[in-house]
Chains A and B, each alone.
Chain A
């Protein structure tokens, strides 16, 4: 089936700590894995994505790793700041939908305390 498991559901860290969110998917034909951030009352926004031809991608304090064999991918945020507090959704695109369909994980509420 089309589903993606996301853990943890909530994550509280101190400012400056690292945060890691993990997702596991089921469709082995998937090849696009984005992460979206949704602040309270705001729209979801893409923060980073990875395609299946690479194992890791970094953008400043944010990195994503992909293990296609194990069918899981993870978001890593280093040196967290209070403005990183939000709900983070992983997602994947089922293999036969040309990136047009995204299946979202259940979300992780990240709270960064000063």
Chain B
């Protein structure tokens, strides 16, 4: 299995809602990532988990809360979002260490609309 699977594909939520984005991979990758991508812009790193521990937080507002329950799963909990948070949220995974370290395998993304 060489896929990163994200659910849901589309999500519409109000500013007072609580929702979660989910990501799963079974490639044995021990690094997992959340990126945010606005239309016609590059992906922007939000969080990195390495061996299930948060290793990088790019000063993301606390209304975004990541969670890595195990080596295959990554969640992004959303609460009290703003309309400007509407974007494509991409999950990715990669190996840690070794000669192929660095290549990111992206999921198809969850397109979030905040009303």
Query: Which residues of B lie under 8 Å from residue A36 when comparing CB positions?
Result: 104
A93→B94 CA distance, assembly (Å): 14
> Size class of A's contact patch?
20 to 34
Nearest chain A residue, comparing its CB with the CB of B107: A43
Query: Which residues of A lie under 8 Å from residue B34 when comparing CB positions?
Result: none
Residues in B27-47 with C-beta less than 8 Å from chain A = 31, 33, 40-45
Is there contact, CB below 8 Å, between B56 and A44? no
> Size class of B's contact patch?
20 to 34
A73 within 8 A of B: no
Query: Which residues of B lie under 8 Å from residue A104 when comparing CB positions?
Result: 42-44
Query: Which residues of B lie under 8 Å from residue A12 when comparing CB positions?
Result: none
Residue-wise, chain A 79-110 has the 8 Å CB interface mask toward B (1 for contact) of: 00000000001000100011111111111000
B101 within 8 A of A: yes
Is there contact, CB below 8 Å, between A34 and B102? yes
Leading 10 A-B pairs by shortest Cβ distance: A104-B42, A99-B102, A43-B106, A99-B101, A46-B103, A100-B48, A32-B102, A44-B106, A43-B108, A89-B42
